[in-house]
């Protein structure tokens, strides 16, 4: 039932609440807020349950950039599970994804591209040095060419836009990538209409991640609250992917 098992989700949130402390660096800050009796939204479903739980937030100029909530834990699970070998990540955030991927025995190295020195400093303040993790400061679109077994992009702030297609093309041209994924990929694919997606060459790893996410959502019972993404937006982005993915056949 992972990643939708609430015992698992809350254990992860509590574990990282102990690891990550509040702090400020430049325009960025990490805060901890106790959310009392609030129905925190889950990944791909509307949640009606209420929780009392500490929420860790990363903000820039008081604008929320990242949180560690049930939605984040649930949505990162598929990428963490799929990661292997030499892994590339775009976007450091609170460091949860990098830490969890580096902890896997079948992961050799994690290269994280992060443009903000302040975000890196906050991360370094909270976590001891991990020999598997190498953080590269700078524009990830101008990085040196590298080879990756798995590449994950997490810079979309819970929004699906055509940028996911632009980034897919850009990073696959920049690097040699065996498997590529981006935040929200399962929700995007599961929101596609069959009559549209059947004509698109979808990478096998994307299908596998989406299938596992659906099965977990179904077995947890949260499938009853499943909420697809906007149909018009999803089809528009799928057609953009079609131009790229079908040309690789």
Q: What is the pLDDT of residues 149-176, one digit of tens each?
A: 999 999 998 899 999 999 999 999 999 9
Work out the burial of residue 225: count CB atoms within 10 Å of its CB; fewer than 13 is exposed, 13-18 middle, 19 or more buried: middle
CA distances from 210 to 21, 109, 204 (A): 33, 25, 10
State the Cα–Cα distance between residues 25 and 105, nearest whole angstrom.
33
Query: What is the overall mean pLDDT for the chain?
Result: 94
Q: For the whole model, what pTM was predicted?
A: 0.95
Checking if the pLDDT of 37 tops 60, the result is no
Strand 147-153 vs strand 85-90: parallel, antiparallel, or unpaired? parallel
pLDDT at 47: 81
pLDDT in tens, 96-133: 999 999 999 999 999 999 999 999 999 999 999 999 99
Percent of the chain with pLDDT over 90: 87
CA distances from 109 to 30, 53, 106, 129 (A): 26, 33, 9, 13
Residue 80 per-residue DSSP state: H
């Amino acid at each position: 039932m992972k990643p939708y098992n609430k015992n698992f989700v809350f254990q992860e949130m509590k574990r990282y609440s102990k690891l990550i402390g509040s702090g400020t660096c430049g325009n960025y800050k990490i805060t901890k807020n106790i959310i009392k009796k609030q129905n925190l939204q889950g990944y791909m479903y509307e949640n009606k349950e209420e929780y009392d739980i500490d929420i860790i937030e990363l903000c820039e100029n008081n604008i929320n950039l990242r949180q560690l909530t049930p939605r984040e834990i649930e949505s990162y699970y598929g990428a963490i599970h799929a990661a292997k070998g030499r892994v590339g990540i775009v976007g450091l955030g609170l460091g949860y994804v990098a830490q969890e991927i580096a902890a896997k025995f079948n992961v050799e190295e994690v290269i994280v591209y992060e443009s903000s020195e302040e975000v890196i400093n906050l991360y370094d303040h909270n976590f001891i040095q991990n020999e598997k993790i190498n953080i590269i400061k700078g524009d990830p679109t101008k990085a040196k060419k590298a080879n990756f077994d798995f590449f994950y992009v997490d810079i979309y702030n819970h929004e699906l836009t055509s940028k996911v297609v632009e980034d897919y093309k850009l990073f696959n041209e920049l690097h040699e990538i065996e498997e590529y994924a981006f935040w929200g990929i399962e929700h995007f694919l599961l929101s596609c209409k069959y009559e549209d997606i059947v004509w698109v060459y979808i990478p096998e790893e994307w299908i596998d991640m989406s299938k596992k996410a659906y099965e977990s959502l179904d077995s947890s019972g949260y499938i009853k609250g499943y909420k697809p993404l906007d149909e018009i937006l999803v089809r528009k982005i799928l057609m953009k992917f079609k131009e790229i993915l079908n040309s690789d056949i």
